[in-house]
Amino acid sequence: MIAVLKFPGTNGDYDVLRALELAGLRGEIVWYKDYRPGAYDAVVLAGGFSYGDRLRAGAVAAATKAVEHVREDAERGVPVLGICNGFQILVEAGLLPGALIPNDPPGFISRWIPIRVVDNETPFTLLYQRGEVVYTPVAHAEGRYIPEGSPRAVFKYVENPNGSVDDIAGVARGNVLGLMPHPERAVDPHISRNGVGGLKLWLSLKEWLRR
């Protein structure tokens, strides 16, 4: 069972649940106060505006007991994925390196963009080819990634929409991955006008869990 963690202000949880279903995975939406470590095979922190982005995007959620439990699971090797606001939460919590700051140029962006897979050795990318380009939506105002040290880039923007250093769209540390684009919104051919390249991320997780 895969936990889709929901905080006040999370709005991408049902999109993630739908993507899991299309990939043949079982998931459930878990209210952050109800999350317990050791109960799930993988954890997804969905997108949205947790706590209304008070202080900084993801900062308040990062200080919750739920994220401390996610840290415990990550240390045990449980795959953890943060999408958009979920990525911001993981960065604020120190589970991923760097910082996510307001876009340059400033403002909220919402459109489909191409991203390139540069690392296919994570639980979420093993079915992609290195160098493969997929189209996914982005929807954020604070997605400019500023690295700390030499982060393990997994996805890079082909067309950088927000000023992220080195075009980085997603990074990993061990079994923890975060990205600003929304792969859960690029899974259904009926609504994904630019393809279903996001589905491979969920199928990769399914394959990893089988191993």
Q: 3-state DSSP call for residue 59?
A: helix
- Phi and psi torsions of 18, nearest 5°: -65, -40
* Run of H or E including 101: strand 99-101
CB atoms within 10 A of CB 159: 9
113-159 per-position pLDDT tens digit = 999 999 999 999 999 999 999 999 999 999 999 999 999 999 999 99
Q: Give residue 23's pLDDT.
A: 96
Q: What's the CA angle centered on 73, arms 196 and 149, to 5 degrees?
A: 75
CA atoms within 13 A on the CB side of 51: 16
Cβ atoms 142, 88 nearer than 8 A: yes
SS3 track for 32-58: HHHCCCCCCCEEEECCECHHHHCCCCC
Active-site residue, from 92, 140, 142, 184: 184
Q: Which residues of the chain have pLDDT under 50?
A: none
Q: Give residue 134's pLDDT.
A: 96
Q: 3-state DSSP call for residue 27?
A: strand
Q: Give residue 50's pLDDT.
A: 87
Query: What is the model's pTM?
Result: 0.96
CATH: 3.40.50.720, 3.40.50.12170, 3.40.50.880, 3.40.462.10. Which one for 2-209?
Answer: 3.40.50.880
Active-site residue, from 84, 92, 140, 142: 84
R_g over Cα of the chain: 15
In terms of residues, how long is the chain?
211
Q: Give residue 120's pLDDT.
A: 98
| Residue 182 falls in the annotated catalytic set | yes
d(CA 5, CA 13): 7
| Residue 140 falls in the annotated catalytic set | no
| Residue 84 falls in the annotated catalytic set | yes
Active-site residue, from 69, 92, 142, 182: 182
Strand partners, 196: none
